[in-house]
Structure 1
Amino acid sequence: MILNFRHKITQLFTCLTLLICSLTACKKDTYVGKDPYGDAKPQLDLKVNTLTASPVEGAIASTVTLSGSGFLKYKTDLKVQFNGEQAEILSVTDTEVKVKVPEWASSGLITYMVGAQILPGPKFRVTGTLQIDKTFNSYVGANDDIYSITALPDGRMIIAGNFTDYNNAGIRAGYSKLAIISSQGVLDKSYKPGKGFPSGHVYKSVVLQDGKILVGGNFNSFDTRNNQISNIAKISLTGGIDSTVYTYTDRSGEIKKSAAPTFKAFFNNAVDELLVQPDGNIIVSGSFKYYMTKTYYPNQKDTIITDSTQINYMARIKPDGSLDKTYNFNTQTNKANEGFNGFIYKSYMQADGKLIVAGGFSSYNGENVSKIVRLNLDGSLDKSFNPGTGPNGTISSIQPYLNGQMLISGEFLSYNGKNRTRVAIINENGSLDESFDPGVSANGSISRAIRLGNGKILLTGNFQKFNNINRFGLAVVEANGTLSPAYNTLGGFVFSSFIFRSPVNEIINVDNGEAAILVGSFNSLDLQQNTRLVKIKY
């Protein structure tokens, strides 16, 4: 009896304990923390026309009317920008704002700012001296990157790259990695490459003295010729490869015939640059370590012999593709000299055939050098070219300037110890031209630079600002390095992936120096579709 009573008391106590705990757990916490949205700005009582401005385009300092409602309420704090550059507000009513196009405006989006709050407005095209040539056929363009463009003597142009189609000709048409276009950008169908380059990339093309094309890249087949070429090929302007027909006896004793390319050169890795010297010989540079040649069916036997010669990054070959052993070569050991100890990023040939070479190297034939050198006609180091310490970073572009000078650009921040941010002019002897000073310059790499026909300098690259002015990949500067008024109104480049990068791979001057053609990876420039190539005039 007593045990039973104690058991019931224990059960009752346990139940009361559980009840108290549950009530305590369910008690509402009266502490109130800081509202995470308490500092949020109230929504602007402002509506803007995002579709159009009046007019839809205009020059620097012209007046533009923007429409909407609620402007007067924010008259004191309201700011208007043209592609990031602040405009002067001329007048404000509740439904209209009149502004002056700012001095360094470029085509793009007009935005409204009230404090830290931003409202997008309409697009506006700023007109200037530099304009897109709308008669040039580049709206459809190439379906992938164009790496280079080469002018032919008759006005046509060769484009090379990673594309498999141009102007919707169709992938089966064979204009893969290489095509010929007219001076107006129209596909030249007299070039019939069969299947073209079915794989790999074509980086560069040059015109040889016999009128045929030499192309370099990373490939091992052309049309139906699989594994008969390697990273370099000689092609006619109609699309054929020069061939030699060999007769041989196969292992069963049957007599057969086979065609193989007449051009003798092969390389074990990519060819990036080709330069034709005045005597017709060709300088080849790239990431290769071996030059190779093949002997087909010797003594009419069913065999192919491959010979290789170790050569670091640069070689000179003859017009038939055979190796020129008078260029940086030791004939006693039958081996190439050491050459560069690092990659070549860019090379430029002077009118006298000497070579300016820039890269990631620190020595040449065992001798310490800066990142830019000049080579004599025999490949030896030209010690009259003295850049001092040279650039402290990569040079990605070398172009001729005036009186033997050269325009260089890249990722460097100084040249021979003097500040020169990503673009400079150097004298014929390698010293810095101190009259050209870009100041703060670009806030990203300048991958390409060229002197235009009117003396101004066009810069392109992976930058958004130049001297703190919004330029989005393209800037034009004067001969002293300052931004050129009226030449910087073009809106920036746009890409299909929406990831900004270096937009242009090569630029050539055309139309007797009154225009230029740019090729690269972009899809649009100045609010207009121009797919991987565009012609600008001035």
Structure 2
Amino acid sequence: MKILRFFTGIIIAGICLQACSKDDVASSGKDPYKDTVSPAILISKGGVLPDRGHINDEIIIRGKGFKAHQQELSILFNGQPGTLVDVTDSSVKVKVPVFASTGNITAQVGQQYFFGPFFRVLGAMETDTVYPSSRGADNFIQDIIPVEGGKFLIVGDFTNFDNANIDGGVNRVARINGDGTIDRSFRYGKNTGAPATVVRAAAMPDGRYLVAGSFASYEGLPYVSSIARLYNNGGLETENITRPSGKVQPVSALKGGVSGVVTGLHLQQDGKMIVVGYFRYYVKPNYNLVSVTGADSLHLDSTMVNFMARLHPDGTLDTSYNYDLVNHRGKEGVNGAINKSLFLPDGKVLIVGGFTKYNGQPAQRIARINTDGSLDPTFKSAEGANFPIYDVAQQPDGKFILTGLFNTYAGLAVPYIVRLMPDGSLDPSLQVGTGAEGTVYNINIMPQGQIILTGAFTEFNKVVRNNFVVLNPDGSVHTAYNTNGGINMGTNDVNAAFTKVLQLPNDHSMLAVGGFTRFDFRPCNRIVRITYQ
């Protein structure tokens, strides 16, 4: 056995030596590893004329070596091959293809790729370059709502906007003018705003504002539990109370809030507020207590409500909404997270997320809630999505579009996106092919029914798109609205999404906000104005 191993080792060593000798030194005496492979073609720096154009325009790319490789040459516009019109050794005339979008032109010869110059594809949806997007916010904008005078209220994680550099900061809440500049008549600076994220905003009929998120104080006042009401000038609405000692102190005008994060804030016509999110308790400070030493004391009273509650206009808990009067707590509600909610025209609320039950009844990641907080049995939610739903939007015709991690809905295979009829049944007319090559986080619906999807993806139905795509109402990729370069961020970054797209009235334009810093290869710090035809 030892002798066999010895001879086997000699044979293997000999084979290795022979192989190494042949690889290292060719018969000509040259080292094959030192041979250089010349590129098939060369593209001149800046060698595109013109450097911008529309779909079906003919452009010229300059360089050398094109003619010799004409049979295997492709000119790609963000992955889409253009039609070659004329090829010489030093230039290629090519027609800009359908679904081309702004970015670097690439030439392909067989398995070799050659990165070429930047080319801007002009189209029916463009970035408004006059709007001061580059001055924007220094951190996430979570929500934007229209307010009086053509202005907008924005909320989020930011501490500066429009490069205002106000002493003390622009703390999570700001009012901006229609031209994108900050409204300096609003209150900013030290001791204003919330010290943590503000996620949602609502405008009241009398000009006051509601803001909600994950904060525990506002303007330095404690026990402002994730929801606050503001005066029109941005200041926290307060009232004075008298403590047992006779001391008078200001407190939030809303008498209570929630312990956790509010992700949805909905204002009813009667002034009541529906809040949803990641919280288990309604909390209310009791200022009328005295310690054993006779000093003023305080206790934060709490009531279990499970992710969803309705408050009276004064901030007290509405116990007529999904509440167990016998056990003095909210009913069971959902058994998992609520990611998004819609306040519907009839006063009901549609919720989506990761839950599978509502008040013990089947509700597969979606449910419609009646005006008293009970589950609406007329909405088909027992057979919903097999995995969490991230977002939901309602079309002008009342149908709903959902997206998330699910790949089946009501037992049928779907590519992470689905459309429902108003009663919750599946609408098979939405056909998106293979869908997104990645994750779609947000949906927005344009006035004519076009669907805007944003998230962390690089393709949609085999069309290269950078985290942004516009679909026709039938689910096909819109041929005119996808020429822009999209959201230019990493595909694994959840910032590559619009948290809100606000259609502007009487104007073919919209304001989009989120966590992005570049759109269409232009600086856009968390806000951009987009025009469309």
Deviation at residue 38 of structure 1 after TM alignment: 4.8
Deviation at residue 404 of structure 1 after TM alignment: 2.5
Tell me whether 374-383 or 112-121 shows the greater mean CA deviation: 112-121
1:207 aligns with 2:203: yes
Aligned partner (choices 82, 95, 98) of residue 100 of structure 1 = 95
2:141 paired residue number = 146
1:462 paired residue number = 456
1:186 aligns with 2:181: yes
2:40–2:69 CA contact under 8 A, matched in 1: no
1:272 aligns with 2:263: yes
Work out the CA distance in 2 between the residues paired with 1:386 and 1:246: 48
CA offsets, 1:260-287, max 9 Å, x none? Answer: 1121123221111101123221111111
1:61–1:103 CA contact under 8 A, matched in 2: yes
1:218 paired residue number = 214
Aligned partner (choices 76, 79, 100) of residue 81 of structure 1 = 76
Aligned partner (choices 281, 287, 296) of residue 272 of structure 2 = 281
Please give the secondary structure, in 2, of the residue aligned with 1:522.
coil
Give the partner amino acid of 1:391: A
CA offsets, 1:456-508, max 9 Å, x none? Answer: 2222222211110001111111121111211111112123x785444221112
1:426 paired residue number = 420
1:346–1:357 CA contact under 8 A, matched in 2: yes
Pair 537,305 (structure 1): closer, same or farther in 2 beyond 3 Å = same
Give the partner amino acid of 2:72: D
2:283 paired residue number = 292
Work out the CA distance in 2 between the residues paired with 1:135 and 1:280: 39
2:401 paired residue number = 407
Deviation at residue 392 of structure 1 after TM alignment: 2.2
Work out the CA distance in 1 between the residues paired with 2:384 and 2:34: 53
2:362–2:381 CA contact under 8 A, matched in 1: no
Deviation at residue 406 of structure 1 after TM alignment: 1.8
Alignment of 1:371-410 (within 5 A): 371-410=365-404
Work out the CA distance in 2 between the residues paired with 1:109 and 1:130: 19
CA offsets, 1:195-247, max 9 Å, x none? Answer: 3346321111112344222111122232332x331222212231211222234
1:20 paired residue number = none
TM-score by length of 1: 0.88
Please give the secondary structure, in 2, of the residue aligned with 1:269.
strand
Pair 249,430 (structure 1): closer, same or farther in 2 beyond 3 Å = closer
Aligned partner (choices 2, 20, 31) of residue 32 of structure 1 = 20
Work out the CA distance in 2 between the residues paired with 1:450 and 1:177: 23
Pair 156,356 (structure 1): closer, same or farther in 2 beyond 3 Å = same
Work out the CA distance in 1 between the residues paired with 2:140 and 2:256: 26
Aligned partner (choices 90, 114, 118) of residue 123 of structure 1 = 118
1:53 paired residue number = 48
Work out the CA distance in 1 between the residues paired with 2:244 and 2:433: 70
Q: Which has the larger radius of gyration?
A: 1
Give the partner amino acid of 2:65: G
1:305 paired residue number = 299
Work out the CA distance in 2 between the residues paired with 1:279 and 1:138: 37
Deviation at residue 147 of structure 1 after TM alignment: 1.4
Please give the secondary structure, in 2, of the residue aligned with 1:32.
helix
Please give the secondary structure, in 1, of the residue aligned with 2:45.
coil
Give the partner amino acid of 1:439: G
Count of residue correspondences = 505
Please give the secondary structure, in 1, of the residue aligned with 2:68.
helix
Deviation at residue 419 of structure 1 after TM alignment: 3.1
Give the partner amino acid of 2:401: L
Structure 1 gaps of 5+ residues are: 1-28
Give the partner amino acid of 1:182: N
1:164–1:171 CA contact under 8 A, matched in 2: no
2:60 paired residue number = 65
Deviation at residue 58 of structure 1 after TM alignment: 0.5
Work out the CA distance in 1 between the residues paired with 2:243 and 2:329: 32
Pair 360,30 (structure 1): closer, same or farther in 2 beyond 3 Å = closer
Work out the CA distance in 1 between the residues paired with 2:425 and 2:160: 44
Please give the secondary structure, in 2, of the residue aligned with 1:392.
coil
Structure 2 gaps of 5+ residues are: 1-16, 25-30
1:331 aligns with 2:325: yes
CA offsets, 1:513-537, max 9 Å, x none? Answer: 6222211121111122211111111
1:23 paired residue number = none
Work out the CA distance in 1 between the residues paired with 2:387 and 2:302: 34
Work out the CA distance in 2 between the residues paired with 1:37 and 1:259: 83
Work out the CA distance in 1 between the residues paired with 2:150 and 2:51: 36
Pair 184,418 (structure 1): closer, same or farther in 2 beyond 3 Å = farther
1:454–1:513 CA contact under 8 A, matched in 2: no
CA offsets, 1:172-204, max 9 Å, x none? Answer: 353122211122211111111333346321111
1:109 paired residue number = 104
Work out the CA distance in 1 between the residues paired with 2:380 and 2:472: 26
1:126–1:489 CA contact under 8 A, matched in 2: yes
1:354 paired residue number = 348
Work out the CA distance in 1 between the residues paired with 2:36 and 2:433: 39
Deviation at residue 45 of structure 1 after TM alignment: 5.8
Work out the CA distance in 2 between the residues paired with 1:149 and 1:235: 16
Work out the CA distance in 2 between the residues paired with 1:47 and 1:262: 69
Pair 271,466 (structure 1): closer, same or farther in 2 beyond 3 Å = same
Give the partner amino acid of 1:241: L
Tell me whether 447-456 or 120-129 shows the greater mean CA deviation: 447-456
1:341 paired residue number = 335
1:165 paired residue number = 160
1:193–1:223 CA contact under 8 A, matched in 2: no
Tell me whether 318-327 or 449-458 shows the greater mean CA deviation: 449-458
State the identity %. 33
Deviation at residue 293 of structure 1 after TM alignment: 0.7
Give the partner amino acid of 2:250: A
Deviation at residue 133 of structure 1 after TM alignment: 1.8
2:10 paired residue number = none
Give the partner amino acid of 1:341: N
Tell me whether 94-103 or 239-248 shows the greater mean CA deviation: 239-248
Deviation at residue 40 of structure 1 after TM alignment: 8.2
1:366 aligns with 2:360: yes
Work out the CA distance in 2 between the residues paired with 1:373 and 1:153: 33
Pair 198,429 (structure 1): closer, same or farther in 2 beyond 3 Å = closer
2:6 paired residue number = none
Pair 31,331 (structure 1): closer, same or farther in 2 beyond 3 Å = closer
Please give the secondary structure, in 2, of the residue aligned with 1:76.
helix
Work out the CA distance in 1 between the residues paired with 2:491 and 2:44: 25
